[in-house]
DNA sequence: TTCCAGGGGTAGA
DNA sequence: TCTACCCATGGA
């Protein structure tokens, strides 16, 4: 229902689009402040538009896959300005990669034949965050820790440093979220983390040895020393971008490959325990190959290695997209 | 209790 | 470039 405090926006993707498949393509939808509401197949999150100004978003698919559009119900306490509406559109387009063109990858899949030729149209858009800063912080929080630990650390960051959206009342779905009773918050802005001292930061969130890395990253971004958003959108050559990303403390070869994927570049494989286990099982009969041998499996996919690996893994897991 | 996770940094070879 | 070792934390 659209009340005086809600606005509904409709966004059209470039090409075919599968909302649920994109939202659930990898673990990002389970990391705060995102919440997946299964009953309505909706992604909820708070989006911070400016200091002290946040809105709650309820994002869902409209129409039938693979030709869906995205519907965004925006709940806001005070009137939504045109610039704010545009900001929300841009954030959601980024999250769901509505402007990404994967036709070259689909063409390669058709040429391969077999299961590749049956790749669902709309596959390959992996959910990302409204900002690259959020993606970088979350990626650092996935390293050398189990997924439950990643979820805990990100939730702590949001709880400790995120902003409440304002005065709109919580919806029914929020009462059934994994953090019932707690007011939803935005992902922390860089300056929200940088405002506190390194010591205070480490005390307020349990991030282990990652704490100084994430605090240092936030400080560099807040002070304008590192322009992360421009970096993600730049047309710089991938090797150069990769070197830049690996210059961030806490980002190594796995992290840079993950972040390149999140920046829409799929030429590098994120070699982690999930990748190693999958390739060993699928391509080496359960025996453990070296990382080099495992990488070689996807060598022929060139600039699309990451998506080829991801499709094989999702397909083996029985995912529909 | 021990191991290790959707690894990364550092030192030393 | 490669290897060994260390790193906080919590789940298994």
**Each residue's pLDDT tens digit, A239-253:** 999 999 999 999 999
CA of A223 vs C1' of B10, distance in Å? 27
pLDDT 10s digits, A189-239 = 999 999 999 999 999 999 999 999 999 999 999 999 999 999 999 999 999
**Which residue is the nearest neighbor of C6, CA to C1'?**
A209
Nearest alpha carbon to residue A158 among A138, A136, A180, A181: A138
> Has residue A109 got a pLDDT over 90?
yes
Nearest alpha carbon to residue A124 among A302, A312, A280, A279: A312
Q: Could you count the other beta carbons within 10 Å of the beta carbon of residue A210?
A: 21
User: CA-CA distance, A39 to A161, in Å (whole number)?
Assistant: 29
User: CA-CA distance, A198 to A202, in Å (whole number)?
Assistant: 6
Nucleotides of B under 7 A from a protein CB: 4-9
pLDDT 10s digits, A135-184 = 999 999 999 999 999 999 999 999 999 999 874 545 555 544 555 667 79
Q: Could you count the other beta carbons within 10 Å of the beta carbon of residue A178?
A: 11
**Which residue is the nearest neighbor of C10, CA to C1'?**
A149
Is residue A150 a contact partner of residue A31, using CB atoms and an 8 Å limit? yes
pLDDT 10s digits, A25-36 = 999 999 999 999
User: CA-CA distance, A211 to A191, in Å (whole number)?
Assistant: 15
- Residues 132-151 of chain A with CB under 7 A from strand C are 144-146, 148-149
Q: What is the structure's pLDDT at A181?
A: 65
CA of A24 vs C1' of C5, distance in Å? 38
User: CA-CA distance, A100 to A78, in Å (whole number)?
Assistant: 33
> Has residue A269 got a pLDDT over 90?
yes
Instruction: Enumerate residues near strand B (beta carbon within 7 A).
Output: A 26-27, 142-147, 149-150, 209, 246, 248-256, 258, 270, 272-274
Q: What is the structure's pLDDT at A179?
A: 57
End-to-end Cα, chain A, rounded Å? 30
CA of A140 vs C1' of B2, distance in Å? 26
DSSP state for residue A226 in the 8-state scheme: S
Q: What is the structure's pLDDT at A5?
A: 84
Q: What is the structure's pLDDT at A175?
A: 47
> Has residue A132 got a pLDDT over 80?
yes
> Has residue A123 got a pLDDT over 60?
yes
Global pTM value: 0.96
Is residue A259 a contact partner of residue A139, using CB atoms and an 8 Å limit? yes
- What is the side-by-side strand order in the sheet with A35-37? A6-11, A69-75, A53-62, A42-50, A35-37
Residues above pLDDT 90, as percent of chain A: 87
Q: Which helix (H) or strand (E) holds A259?
A: helix A253-262
Q: What is the structure's pLDDT at A121?
A: 84
pLDDT 10s digits, A60-101 = 999 999 999 999 999 998 899 999 999 999 999 999 999 999
């Amino acid at each position: 229902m659209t009340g005086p405090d809600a606005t509904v926006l409709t966004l059209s993707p470039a090409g075919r689009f599968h909302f649920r498949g994109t939202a659930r393509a990898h673990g990002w939808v389970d990391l705060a402040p995102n919440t997946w509401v299964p009953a309505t197949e909706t992604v909820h999150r708070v989006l911070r538009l400016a200091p002290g100004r946040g809105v709650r978003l309820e994002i869902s698919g409209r129409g039938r896959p693979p030709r869906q559009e995205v519907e965004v119900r925006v709940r806001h306490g005070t009137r939504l300005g045109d610039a704010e509406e545009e900001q929300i559109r841009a954030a959601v387009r980024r999250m769901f990669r509505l402007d990404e063109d994967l036709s070259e990858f689909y063409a390669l899949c058709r040429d391969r034949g077999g299961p590749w030729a049956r790749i669902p149209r709309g596959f390959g858009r992996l959910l990302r965050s409204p900002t690259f800063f959020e993606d970088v912080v979350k990626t650092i929080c996935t390293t050398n820790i189990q997924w439950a630990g990643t979820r805990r650390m990100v939730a702590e960051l949001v709880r400790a440093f995120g902003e409440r959206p304002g005065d709109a009342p919580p919806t029914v779905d929020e009462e059934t979220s994994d953090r019932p009773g707690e007011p939803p918050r935005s992902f922390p802005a860089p300056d929200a983390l940088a405002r506190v001292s390194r010591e205070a930061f480490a005390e307020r969130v349990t991030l282990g040895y990652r704490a100084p890395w994430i605090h240092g990253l936030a400080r560099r971004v807040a002070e304008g020393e590192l322009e992360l958003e421009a970096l993600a959108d730049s047309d710089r050559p991938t090797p150069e971008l990769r070197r830049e990303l690996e210059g961030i403390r806490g980002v190594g070869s796995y992290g840079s490959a993950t972040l390149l994927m999140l920046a829409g570049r799929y030429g590098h494989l994120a070699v982690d325990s999930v990748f190693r286990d999958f390739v060993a099982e699928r391509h080496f009969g359960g025996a453990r190959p070296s990382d080099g041998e495992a990488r070689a499996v996807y060598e022929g996919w060139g600039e699309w290695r990451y998506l080829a690996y991801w499709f094989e893994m999702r397909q083996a897991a029985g995912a529909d997209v």
